[in-house]
Chains A and B, each alone.
Chain A
Amino acid sequence: MLLPEHRSKELLAKYGVPIPPGFLARTANDAETGCGKLDASRYVVKSQILAGGRGLAGGVRIVDTPSAVGEEVGRLLGHTLVTEQTGPRGEVVSTVYIETALDIVDSRFMALALDPESGAVMLLASAAGGVEFEQRARMDDSVYDTMLIDSDTPETRKSVTAFLKKAGIDEAAVDIAFAGYAALIENELTLVEINPLAKTRTGDWYAADAKVALDGNALFRHPEFEEFKALQNPDPIEAAAQQNNINLVKLEGNIGVVVNGAGLGLATHDMLTEANGKPANFMDIRTTATSLNIAKGVELLLQDPKVRCILLNIHGGGITLGDTVAEGVSIAYGHSSRKVPLVARMAGQNADRGLAILKEHRLPVEVVGTMSDAIARSVALAG
């Protein structure tokens, strides 16, 4: 669960991470007048969306005057930013953060996360900071180095100092690493990322940008973060599915996909894509979903006018049973005026009962035996 930039910075600042002076604006007018509070010769105007890749998508602007700030904010507010992480539908900008532009001489990368192997806190650092970091890191793990931290002691500070030095980060920034460490532990964060970690002409280090991720599973111990839950799913359809114990990711195609389990969902998505099919969604019916939950999930797909057929690929397991899913699908079709063709492939626990239910409800169903057949039929039906 990501926090927006300004809240990430606010949280890190509490632990002593230096951040550039800035303020949040929801109108162009507020933005322009607010600039009076900043002692700046240049301003950075930053769209507050959760997805990364803002800079490359035009969501971050540097301007010289308060009136230019107002203009940029007016242009960005209500604008849909499509970045490589938002998906093709993009994310609408509803708030903008305005900051004093730093006089940056060096851009580095620093992050803290939990090491999956040991469970210890892992510090990551790279001499390559800024926008290109993520792209370079994707292709080449060696662009950053890591070390494990288990405490804040003079000894660990010494080794962190030496470690950061190799990434071109001098001793003045060691406090930032340990402030991030404390923030990560105390708030049960899964990620603290400072990129760029910027050095100014005066030799001071700042978090010029920051990204903090909360652990959604630890929210019960952190009620102070509850408000961010609503921000996580800007897509109302995905949010509605989530409320019904279904992980749904909207895509642009015309084949509605109903699958139980994340792995089977990914496997189905791969096979559809490789058969030149266009999935309208990724779906993972979680084991906690009831037939009414599943009905809601399928209704969400039937409501999409682009969907030309539904592919049902279910492997009844120890928890999610075939007949439970079939009941849900039947309820959804009963509620919907659109009866798009249904290709059903069911195996595992209670698969026979599930198929019988689909037929009893007289759904427009075509039953197939294997996953490959199910894929081929749905691709043919979707055209």
Chain B
Amino acid sequence: MSILVDSNTKVLVQGMTGRAGRFYTHQAMRYGTTYVAGVNPVKPGSEHLGLPVFGTVAEAAKDTGANASLVIVPAANAAAAMIEAIEAEISVITCVTERVPQHDMARVKAALKGSKSVLIGPNSQGILTPEQCKIGVMPTRYAMPGRIGIASRAASLTSEVVAQCSAAGLGQSTTVGIGGDNLHGIGFVECLKLFRDDPDTDAVILIGEIGGREEEDAAAYLKSADYGKPVIALIVGRHAPQGRRMGHAGTLSVFGSGSAQAKIDQLAAAGVILAENVDDVVPRVRAAAPQPAIA
């Protein structure tokens, strides 16, 4: 099993006819994911990569039974695409687009409220259930099916952790990139809840960084819940100079809070196992995870 996506997931692509959209759709199809349709308001009726192209998400979903969407469109159009997918009641919407304006995301957040959709991203590498479903732009070569759940705010760092885990025999149930922006869809707390309810996830790795409140919220949740599975966290940016933006927009926090140390302290107080650095993640997981997790 897994969370959010598996071999039954049927994916449509908003932006499939663009260069990046075509490339990543093709890669994911070769990986074995079921992609069923593309959406392009000006090219309905055409065919790309052997898939039918519809004018709207609603039509594509109705005709093909698609229950997930990959949004890979220019930033200026991303909010409209996400909102269209929410209105069409697509269950899992993954947006990999970078640089989406924040006030656009405010509208998307309002549309998400009370909806039937889960949004992953934007500015996310996507979601991967190894050998079952890839929606996103992450590499798959070093991923391996297994029983470790991963939720993260950073893409290449996650690829590194995934590769180290696989090399150590720690396969992954699902890896979710929640994205590097301030305003985003799914957060650590929802990922933790989904992993808790997944009988095939034995332990969870959180990959966090300075800025924002994801780690603090995760700590508060874990403190209040009887989680029942080990949670290992890697928090980066411990030595980042204050007040300077280090890559992700989300790392620059407006009102001082969100320091790495505050996050580490709160997570530790909630029973989370802290990895000291990237190379320390696998040893911590091996020590904490129950035996079946280690292949």
Chain A contacts to B: CB under 8 angstroms: 51-53, 84-85, 87, 111, 113-114, 116-120, 124, 134, 137-139, 141, 144, 185, 188, 190-191, 213, 215, 217-218, 220-221, 247, 249, 251, 260-267, 269-271, 273-274, 282, 284, 287, 315-320, 347-349, 370-372
Contact = CB atoms under 8 A, between A and B. Distances in A.
Contacts, number: 197
24 contacts: A85-B244, A118-B109, A119-B109, A134-B256, A141-B255, A188-B102, A188-B103, A215-B102, A217-B100, A217-B101, A218-B103, A261-B156, A262-B180, A262-B247, A263-B154, A267-B234, A267-B236, A315-B156, A315-B157, A316-B159, A317-B137, A317-B138, A318-B139, A372-B277
Give me the 7 closest cross-chain CB pairs, A-B, nearest first: A263-B154, A262-B247, A261-B156, A119-B109, A263-B157, A138-B256, A85-B243
A348 B213 contact: no
B142 A348 contact: yes
A270 B156 contact: no
A370 B279 contact: yes
B241 interface: yes
A231 to B, nearest CB: 15
B157 A267 contact: yes
Contacts of B99: 217
A77 B213 CA distance: 39
B156 A85 contact: no
Interface stretch (B37-45, B204-212, B219-227, B287-295): B204-212
B51 interface: no
Given A118-B113, A191-B254, A318 B102 contact: no
Given A85-B242, A270-B237, A318 B137 contact: yes
Given A261-B156, A267-B157, A119 B137 contact: no
Of the candidates A84, A137, A144, A217, the one having the most CB atoms from chain B within 10 angstroms of its own CB is A217
B246 A249 contact: yes
Nearest to A139: B256
Contacts of B237: 266, 269-270
Interface of B: 24, 27, 75-76, 98-110, 113, 125, 136-142, 152-160, 163, 180, 182-184, 207, 209-210, 212-213, 234, 236-248, 251, 254-257, 259, 277-279
Contacts of A141: 255, 257
- Dominant SS among interface residues on chain A: mixed
Contacts of A213: 254
B145 to A, nearest CB: 18
Contacts of B137: 287, 317-319
B240 A269 contact: yes
A183 to B, nearest CB: 12
A114 B213 contact: no
A284 B247 contact: yes
B159 A137 contact: no
Given A114-B103, A316-B139, A251 B241 contact: yes
A263 B241 contact: no
B19 to A, nearest CB: 12
A156 to B, nearest CB: 16
Contacts of B108: 119
